[in-house]
Each structure stands twice: as structure tokens, then as C-alpha cells.
Copies of this chain bind each other. A is one copy, B any other.
Amino acid sequence: MDYTLQQIAEALGAELKGDGSLRVTGAAEPGMAGEGDLALAMSPRYAEALGQGRARAALVWPDADWQAMGLKGAVIAPRGRLAMARLTQLFDLADDAAGIHPSAVIDPSAEIGEGVHVGPLAVIGAGAVIGAGSRIMAQASIGPGARLGEGALVHSGARIGRNVTAGARLIVQPNAVIGGDGFSFVTESASHVETARAELGQGTVDEAADPTWHRIHSLGGVSLGDDVEIGACATVDAGTIRPTRIGNGTKIDNLVQVGHNCVIGDHCLLCGHVGLAGSVTIGDRSVLGGKVGVSDNLTIGADVVLTGGSIVLSNVPAGRVMMGYPATKIDTQVESYKALRRLPRILRDLAKSKS
């Protein structure tokens, strides 16, 4: 795959400087770039490294003196990561996926759209519907009655359960699980954990009570909007009697847990190891950093930012930036934290002043 610098500038909607006929075959960090590479030098701190590599063309920051850096041509990237999104898309090799592999096991009642690829040893269940142009990669499973919109990309080993529906352009990374059963159990009479929650820690242990956990089954499936992405080994559980929902354009990272009955809005990001207990609601455009945990039945508003590691134990209003365990407004948290760091010395001084 190769492109002229002119073609790249056009694909990026960006300004071209110098020789637009230069051909590049890949992208590289400035110091490691070969002659055929487009160097990625979107901020001044890369200027020096450019001299160590052999690139003749680069993505550069707006007022870069590209000629002084020894380049023959440059593309201006005022917002570097956005340029990266477009550039990496250009250079991404599609998986060589074409047609239906004879080893795939497809139920005769499944509806397979036009141009769909089904990889080796994939399984598609009864009544499933796969939208046109989708790619179901090796050893993935699509459960009975699942419905995927057009252009889905389901990677190797991903499991889409029965009763899962998705809009267009779903991406599911390897070994993710969508539509497993919710974690929802109940004892005959109130359990220790129920009384402990109700009475803030003063739970009573009833030794005569039957400790058997009865299973609440998950009949509600999962409903995903358009342009949703689910990370590797992430899990999205089915709802109880209505679907667990994830809105349009929301992206979910690896190893994230979305509990049964959750409703996640549009254009959210949930980073690695985020865990949502059952029945959590999250508004549009909220961003949950890595390892954030949210307790069951809580509501997080729109445009909320939860920094990595926050544990959320109460509802969060829209627009808040929160941190800590338990999560509070970030300035409250930082203030408490600073005070705590000063505390040992203050206590020592206090002890001294008393003696």
C-alpha cells in the first residue's frame, strides 16, 4: 500500500507543503523512520529526532519550519491525534476476509447478508441475522436469534449471545462476551449482606436461614446502538426482562464489565477494567477512566468524567469531574489528599506543643 503526500493531505483534509508527489508506504516515529516512511512529528519535541531518521516527508505541527528539518514535503496536522486517526485508517490492512469458510457451522435458518465473510470454525445460530458486509472472524460465535447491523466486525473467539441486537458497524474485539447471564441471585429470606447494606454494616447473621442462592434468569438480552466497540475479554451481561443498552458511538475497552440492566448513553468511553454493577445508568458523552467501579442502581449524568480508579457509591450529577474512593468532586478530593499528607507532621507538632 502506498500513497502520495498529496493523497494523504487530501485524506486528512490538511494543508500540503512541498513536494506532493513523494510516495510513502507507511508511518513511523521520526527517529526510526526510513526513506519511504511518513514521519509523525506533530509537536516541536520531535524536531530533533527527525534528524536521526531518514524520512523525507512528515506530519508536522502548524508553524514547523519543515524545510530546515531537511524534509522534501510536509502535511500540516493542527490536531495531531485526529490526523493519526485518519492516517492509521489509510494504512490499515483489512483482514484478508472473503466469503464463507467451509468449516464454519451456520444454521440454515440464519440470514447472512450480502458480502459477509464468515471465518473458519465460526458458529452462527438459528435465526441469527448478519448485516451486509459484516466480517465474522475465526472461531467467533453468533447466538440463536442475534441480529447484527451492516458492516459488523466480530473478531476471533468473541461470543454474541442469543437476544443480542446491534446497529451498524459494531466492532467486537477477540474473546469478548456480549449477552452472558446477569449476576443476580436471591435467598429465601433476607441474607446477611442485605441487612448489612440496609443498616450500614450492622448486618445480623441468621444461622437458621437457608443460604441457598436462587438464580434470577436473564431474559432481556442486550441492545447496542450504531458504531459501538467492545474490547477484548470485555463482558456485557443480558438484562433481566428488558435489554441492557449501550448507545450510539460508545466505546468500551478491554476487560470491562457491564452488568445486567445497565443503560449507557451515546458517545461514552469506558476504559480498561471499568466495572458497572447491575442497573447502572450513564448519560451521554461520559468518560470513565481505567478501573472505575460503579455500585448497583446508581445514575451517572451526562458529560461526567471519572478519573482512573474511582469507586462510585452515590449518584453523580451531569458535568462533574470526580475522583477517589469514594468518588467525590476532584477538587474536594485533591484538597483532602493534600491535608492528609500534611497531617502526620501536624499531629507531631501538636503532641510537642502539649508536652
Contact = CB atoms under 8 A, between A and B. Distances in A.
Interface stretch (A44-52, A128-136, A199-207): A199-207
A244 to B, nearest CB: 13
A167 interface: no
A213 B249 contact: yes
A176 to B, nearest CB: 8
A231 B232 CA distance: 14
Contacts of A151: none
Q: How many copies does the complex hold?
A: 3
A29 interface: yes
A181 B46 CA distance: 25
B201 A331 contact: yes
Contacts of A191: 285, 287
A291 B276 CA distance: 10
B120 A120 contact: no
Chain B CB within 10 A, most for which of A91, A196, A331: A196
Interface stretch (A3-11, A16-24, A68-76, A235-243): A235-243
B269 A277 contact: no
Nearest to A231: B183
Contacts of A29: 241-242
A149 interface: no
Nearest to A285: B211
Contacts of A196: 305, 321
A254 B126 CA distance: 26
Contacts of A27: 219, 241
Nearest to A270: B183
Given A84-B240, A277-B271, A332 B341 contact: yes
A299 interface: no
A120 B32 CA distance: 41
B205 A86 contact: no
A86 B211 CA distance: 17
What 5 A-B pairs have minimum CB-CB distances, sorted nearest first? A88-B217, A201-B330, A309-B311, A180-B232, A211-B267
